[in-house]
Structure 1
């Protein structure tokens, strides 16, 4: 029985009890932590893609995505505080629903982290070529070296996004050799991003024109299932801008009075980030306009499509928000703040590689834990004798990330990454509800309030956003899952440690590679 292979929760919790963390965090510290985790690559990456999907309705799309994140985070907090071990949603599923479903979650997380890293690399490429090369150095890289072929098509000259490949390989190399990235450096980068976005809001909101918001919903609220357009279609994409909010949930074990402070920290940080995002969207659209480019059928052209790229190459749309590869810097240049725009582009150029590093690290950790469970070959969990990093899986991951960044546009990459994320969060919510019913008396340092509502709302919200992704992105997840099942039955099912009667529990501190 596949579904009978469930990791014993008692053994996992016994191992977790060996590490006693001091409860020092209050709601204010949690809120600041959440803001730092959430505000990252998404807002730099997705403004143009979101405007193409929803026009000024992008402002509402951030609110829809943020609301679903709140209920998902509350579910995540209960099980993260209860089972504080390595593996995240993969391990939670293993302890509640069994090995088969845990494999599907882990496999989806592999897709999420790797594709998200590719998306950020593509975004970094846009700021690098637009700000560093063109604005500062006066170098105009040929289109065939800076644009994915699926974004432009052969007739438009796109061949490979070379800068995205280069940054992906550089970050992979840093992860392999273990070059240190301290919390202090990361804090500086978060500060740079916050200052840059605050400056953007302060300069663009006063320059906004009411005419730029009409029509406010050019693609409507619901663009249709699988269309990926309209407010809800944009929200499914904007979900990427909130990735990282679950880090607040995992801090529940170190929080004073977690039943009170965790919900406050989660909701306050997500509300602040949502307002921040809505103001950035309002400033961008209001300052230069953000209407989508429509196809002959009156529906916005698909982001990353050949036709959209062809339209953007025309003089009429050359300066449009939806056609920019470095949207926020572009907006500031268009309203006469070129120097500030270049500074914002530089901030993105500096800060985004750290996001790629964290995403690549998260992917390798999932691979590592699955390998430790015997579901993947032991070679993937092999740690280099000198560098003390899982060099094999890091190299494989980095190569896959570089390949995707080379040949796919950012909008398509983000939608694919979100498909895996939404599936994982849905499974976490189901795990919380099942565990509450099966083992209601188990000690929980944090209990999700109104789980009867929050749990189903998370499941429905995740499914709702998933079915509003473009059809192509929705199809990737089952295809990827089918590939994963072949690997599982060909290798993991037979080699599984749990299936062979071996239960190995890995806590967050034990034998798991540290973030270098």
Structure 2
């Protein structure tokens, strides 16, 4: 049943063959692309979350997450180079595992993209609220800047909800980031981190690194002495959370079709961007830990604007305000990127018949998939209004880890079932890298909190109900009609025998 409705890879590739892209990207451009996509809410906000789970040993957590991402990236690159069309892991799974797994992956990608957008929205809100309090010397009550599920609960996070809705409106209008604009945002984010390092590293006190690993390595649940809530702690648990700080690296692998000598330059771009960001992250973590300490339940662990908070604590309030401003400018672009990815996944699923056709309708004026964008925007705003950033990041990671797991396994399956197909990029040492990537994803998934795992399971069950009650009977593949040009609605479908 799992392999009963595999979408022919040749049909998926028709788009790439008809609209091939010019190969212009070298190793440096790919590395910069990856750095721009990676640096975001993870390092600006989740440093506090990692400190609460692992203490100073969160530095090891950054390395673990980076290694798993690097392994998954090498797997992702092979499929991205073979199937350089829209749909990401959903499309790859359709060609490898079949429709039901592709549906589950597409459904799980809602957690990766939409929930990630919610998490970034909450992270942006934390920086903006603290900045307003600093500038105007006021205290804003939690009622309208915290959700009801926060450890220090309020009623609704209005700033997070509003930034999500603003990004939704921009996507409907069709706002696109140019390469130059994106480069400016990358420069702002890197400059903010560089400013933090220049001021924080000289203030390090080695005593703040002790005890180094107060909660041990493996994930375990304990009672938070401050909130009296059950929390998951440990170095591995922090790695599972901080994995969010690296999400976005797949932007490098999806550029395979536009890369000069992809077999050489994609690994350089992937490892280069991940390596650069890991070094920056370790330095930032060392600066945060060494200056004010990072023990679970400490002041850093309780902050909503971790890096700005550290700078204010060491008497560099002006720099803390600049970092907050930089986060306020740069983070909305990450929200846009995540929401854009989500709408395009649902758009492709609707074109395959798995979702109602209304999701594939384009706005008559702007030419954007406005219906699915509005649905995504409301979803993002709702979760941002209600949930804290840590829980949202963990939920997002559960969907991402599942998608990366299927990609790693998919590479091995296609090596067996379609060994002669042209692969512009081939995963090196595939029978070592792919199993390690899959195992790493499984390991990190089970280091997430039990609450997060139950959320993922519940979301999957809901998805299966939708699939069997609606999508399966309306699938174009199941009906024997496959669109061979996924991005051009004017090209008629190619008839093939129905697949049961």
Q: TM-score range by the shorter chain?
A: over 0.9
1:26, distance to aligned residue in structure 2 (A): 2.2
1:251, distance to aligned residue in structure 2 (A): 1.7
> Residue in 2 aligned with 1:114?
114
For 1:476 and 1:505, locate their aligned partners in 2 and report how far apart those are by CA, in whole Å.
Answer: 36
For 1:104 and 1:431, locate their aligned partners in 2 and report how far apart those are by CA, in whole Å.
Answer: 14
SS in 2 for 1:109: helix
1:506, distance to aligned residue in structure 2 (A): 4.4
Query: Which deviations, in whole Å up to 9, do the C-alpha atoms of 1:476-510 show, x marking residues without a partner?
Result: 11110100011101110000011111101445x64
For 2:272 and 2:181, locate their aligned partners in 1 and report how far apart those are by CA, in whole Å.
Answer: 25
Query: Any conservation in 2 of the 1:53–1:219 contact (CA below 8 Å)?
Result: yes
> Residue in 2 aligned with 1:221?
217
Query: Which deviations, in whole Å up to 9, do the C-alpha atoms of 1:117-174 show, x marking residues without a partner?
Result: 111111111111101x112233432211111111146xx6x11111111111111122
> Residue in 2 aligned with 1:328?
307
1:27, distance to aligned residue in structure 2 (A): 1.9
> Residue in 2 aligned with 1:312?
none
> Residue in 2 aligned with 1:202?
198
Query: Any conservation in 2 of the 1:85–1:506 contact (CA below 8 Å)?
Result: no
Query: Which deviations, in whole Å up to 9, do the C-alpha atoms of 1:453-493 show, x marking residues without a partner?
Result: 00100110000000000111111111101000111011100
1:29, distance to aligned residue in structure 2 (A): 2.2
Q: Name stretches of at least 5 consecutive residues in structure 2 with no aligned partner.
A: 223-230, 491-500
- Structure 1 range deviating more: 81-90 or 390-399: 390-399
Which residue of 178, 182, 190 maps to 1:182? 178
SS in 2 for 1:5: coil
1:242, distance to aligned residue in structure 2 (A): 0.5
- Alignment of 1:102 with 2:102, yes or no, is yes
> Residue in 2 aligned with 1:356?
335
The 5 Å alignment of 1:8-19 reads 8-19=8-19
For 1:262 and 1:218, locate their aligned partners in 2 and report how far apart those are by CA, in whole Å.
Answer: 39
For 2:206 and 2:423, locate their aligned partners in 1 and report how far apart those are by CA, in whole Å.
Answer: 50
> Residue in 1 aligned with 2:128?
128
1:511, distance to aligned residue in structure 2 (A): 6.0
Shift in CA distance, 130/368, structure 1 to aligned 2, threshold 3 Å: same
> Residue in 1 aligned with 2:350?
371
SS in 2 for 1:323: coil
For 1:241 and 1:435, locate their aligned partners in 2 and report how far apart those are by CA, in whole Å.
Answer: 30
For 1:241 and 1:54, locate their aligned partners in 2 and report how far apart those are by CA, in whole Å.
Answer: 16
SS in 2 for 1:150: coil
> Residue in 1 aligned with 2:20?
20
> Residue in 2 aligned with 1:449?
428
Query: Any conservation in 2 of the 1:373–1:498 contact (CA below 8 Å)?
Result: yes
For 1:505 and 1:167, locate their aligned partners in 2 and report how far apart those are by CA, in whole Å.
Answer: 37
For 1:387 and 1:18, locate their aligned partners in 2 and report how far apart those are by CA, in whole Å.
Answer: 25
- TM-score w.r.t. the length of structure 2 is 0.93
- TM-score w.r.t. the length of structure 1 is 0.91
For 1:352 and 1:505, locate their aligned partners in 2 and report how far apart those are by CA, in whole Å.
Answer: 37
Shift in CA distance, 54/176, structure 1 to aligned 2, threshold 3 Å: same
> Residue in 2 aligned with 1:308?
none
In angstroms, what is the RMSD of aligned CA positions? 1.6
> Residue in 2 aligned with 1:38?
38
- Alignment of 1:472 with 2:476, yes or no, is no
SS in 1 for 2:400: helix
The 5 Å alignment of 1:229-240 reads 229-240=233-244
> Residue in 1 aligned with 2:150?
151
> Residue in 2 aligned with 1:171?
167
Query: Any conservation in 1 of the 2:54–2:214 contact (CA below 8 Å)?
Result: yes
For 1:102 and 1:473, locate their aligned partners in 2 and report how far apart those are by CA, in whole Å.
Answer: 22
1:203, distance to aligned residue in structure 2 (A): 1.0
Q: Name stretches of at least 5 consecutive residues in structure 1 with no aligned partner.
A: 294-316
For 1:59 and 1:446, locate their aligned partners in 2 and report how far apart those are by CA, in whole Å.
Answer: 32
- Alignment of 1:402 with 2:381, yes or no, is yes
Which residue of 342, 345, 348 maps to 2:324? 345
> Residue in 1 aligned with 2:248?
244
SS in 2 for 1:151: coil
